[in-house]
A and B are shown apart, each in its own frame.
Chain A
């Protein structure tokens, strides 16, 4: 494929991904996000609204893309989400991190783990020994290979959707992608 700088999903969704919705949905929305990125934080409630609204018509995938040099807490926050995921509560911590972007230091992360009823000792140990650092890096590099150039980046049924990220813009892009999907059922997405 000729390089066009546009970005495209070349690292497919796999069982190891964090996924909401069926993989047979007419639209797959892959987000590359950074918990300390203000643009990601601003877009998060929009993505939540879209996930709620589309239900089984959407397969939403989240992958980590921490720009650690620019955002000093981003890497640890991503590892914290994975540590919670190892205890079955990835999405719960994911939402908390996006909702508390200015409180992502170690003590706050432990507070969130405690509030969610996680095994805090195990959670803290995972963070201290960077058990999930490789997984986060794997997500990051998949993003680089998919042409992710910053955060938040959304890939809709393959191609990168650059702009806009507001509700109407994202929904319009999703609806257009859905209409071109072989599994699209007319009237399913409004």
Chain B
């Protein structure tokens, strides 16, 4: 094996295949599993479409579910700052494809909401945020860098808006410290094993 010793990019592409449903949210250093859920009415979006730019994945419980502080309205307001940081925001829930469309219209949202319904919550499962007890995804945030590596994640209590300060901090940290220079102690064991073998 040659040429694969530098940091984050050494995480195996097939990590998520070996571990299809982690029991806890994926953490910094893990490769972000790709996905292709549908976005209403008939488009498909893949994480790999955004390679080269940071992506924020915001998993949320069903559309219109109660939350203290309006999370999506808050994110709507900070879109200019996210654009300034070159990042794309994607909301994702296990609602059927038409539901997010109505939710986005009702809340005047200006960023895409994806439906993880067609594949039966496959995306939430891959990211470790599917809640088997009530059949929905948790309220979780993942900031993924342009190389497809998770740089920060956070699982909030289901009814609590996690805000946007963690997102902004993660994006700004990424600018200061690109993934290839990320500290070794933030890598997952899989990366360390791979690194030592190469």
Whether a CB of chain A sits under 8 angstroms from the CB of B44 is no
Q: How far is the CB of B163 from chain A (nearest CB, A)?
A: 5
CB-defined contacts of B166 to chain A, threshold 8 Å = 3, 5
Knowing that A69-B73, A141-B78, A150-B73 are A-B contacts, what are 16 other residue pairs whose CB atoms are under 8 Å apart, sorted by A's residue number? A3-B154, A3-B165, A3-B169, A5-B154, A69-B109, A70-B73, A70-B107, A144-B81, A144-B163, A144-B164, A149-B68, A149-B69, A149-B162, A149-B163, A150-B161, A162-B68
Q: Does A5 lie within 8 Å of B74, measured CB to CB?
A: no
Instruction: Give the tally of cross-chain contacts (CB within 8 A).
Output: 64
Nearest-neighbor residue (CB-CB) of B81 within chain A: A141
Contact of B161 among A70, A149, A163 (CB under 8 A): A149
A69 to B74, CA, bound (A): 9
CB-defined contacts of B102 to chain A, threshold 8 Å = none
Whether a CB of chain A sits under 8 angstroms from the CB of B180 is no
Which positions in B face A, CB cutoff 8 Å?
A: 68-71, 73-74, 76-78, 81, 107-110, 154, 156, 160-166, 168-169
A162 to B74, CA, bound (A): 17
Whether a CB of chain B sits under 8 angstroms from the CB of A51 is no
Contact count band on A: 20 to 34
Which positions in A face B, CB cutoff 8 Å?
A: 3, 5, 7, 10, 67-70, 140-141, 144-150, 153, 162-163
State the main secondary structure of chain B at its contact with A: mixed
Q: Does A67 lie within 8 Å of B154, measured CB to CB?
A: no
Contact of B77 among A3, A140, A145, A147 (CB under 8 A): A140
A149 to B70, CA, bound (A): 7
Nearest-neighbor residue (CB-CB) of B152 within chain A: A3
CB-defined contacts of B74 to chain A, threshold 8 Å = 67, 144, 149-150
CB-defined contacts of B154 to chain A, threshold 8 Å = 3, 5
Q: Could you jot down 20 A-B contacts, CB within 8 Å?
A: A5-B154, A5-B156, A5-B162, A7-B165, A67-B70, A68-B77, A69-B73, A69-B108, A70-B107, A140-B77, A146-B165, A149-B68, A149-B74, A149-B160, A149-B161, A149-B162, A150-B73, A153-B69, A162-B68, A163-B68
